[in-house]
Amino acid sequence: DIQMTQSPASLSASLGETVTIECLASEDIYSNLAWYQQKPGKSPQLLIYDATSLQDGVPSRFSGSESGTQYSLEINSLQSEDAATYFCQQHHDYPWTFGGGTKLELK
Amino acid sequence: EVQLVESGGGLVQPGRSMKFSCAASGFTFSNYGMAWVRQAPTKGLEWVATISYDGSSTYYRDSVKGRFTMSRDNAKSTLYLQMNSLRSEDTATYYCTREVGVLDYWGQGVMVTVSS
């Protein structure tokens, strides 16, 4: 199975700041990576697909990038509604696997 | 508007069975693969199974192979998950998702608790 190592597990940031969350794949997943946002008590929502493409309706302050097997989610100009847990997911090979999640708290 | 509405779930004893369903609307159900993803309490996300658009192919994670069966009825735009020989580690919220490689729409989830 492809392992997705996500970091950090949690972070705290202030409104207006920029944060970066990373996922390291255990092997090449050829940009087949998605990012999801999950707010407490809610279902996950797709933010980014194919590593860098923004899902329709997602604010442009969210962006994805990649470097080899390292994938990153950047959130610019943090807003209060961005407080959530974020997950990466590879969809290169079954079983689809997720990162452990990053809980983002706003100061 | 795409909607996925799960039903079923609840408390079940270890070793017993449970089946729940997911009613889809707002898109042409028969054109899309579908998946189940689960999340144990306070834990991360875990893919469970995928079914192709026409039901001809299914894929399961190893821990549920031989115990869980995913199926679909395209005439009713409904997805199913039959779970047999349930274990305590199957306790989770189960989400119905539309799969296009990525999981672009999610249902609200249905909770399954396996406990005696």
Tens-place pLDDT, residues A30-46: 999 999 999 999 999 99
Closest chain B C-alpha to A95 CA, distance in angstroms:
6
Predicted confidence at residue B64, as pLDDT, reads 98
Evaluate if residue A1 carries a pLDDT over 90: yes
pLDDT band at B70; cut points 50, 70, 90 = very high
| Residues in chain B whose Cβ is within 8 Å of chain A | 35, 44-47, 50, 59, 61-62, 95, 101-109
Strands A102-106 and A10-13, how do they pair? parallel
Q: Under a CB-based contact definition with an 8 Å cutoff, are residues A64 and A35 in contact?
A: yes
Predicted confidence at residue B23, as pLDDT, reads 98
Predicted confidence at residue B42, as pLDDT, reads 86
Evaluate if residue B63 carries a pLDDT over 90: yes
Q: Distance between CA atoms of A54 and B76, rounded to whole angstroms?
A: 32
Evaluate if residue B71 carries a pLDDT over 90: yes
Evaluate if residue B2 carries a pLDDT over 90: yes
CA distances from A72 to A15, A68, A86, A99, B65 (A): 20, 11, 11, 12, 33
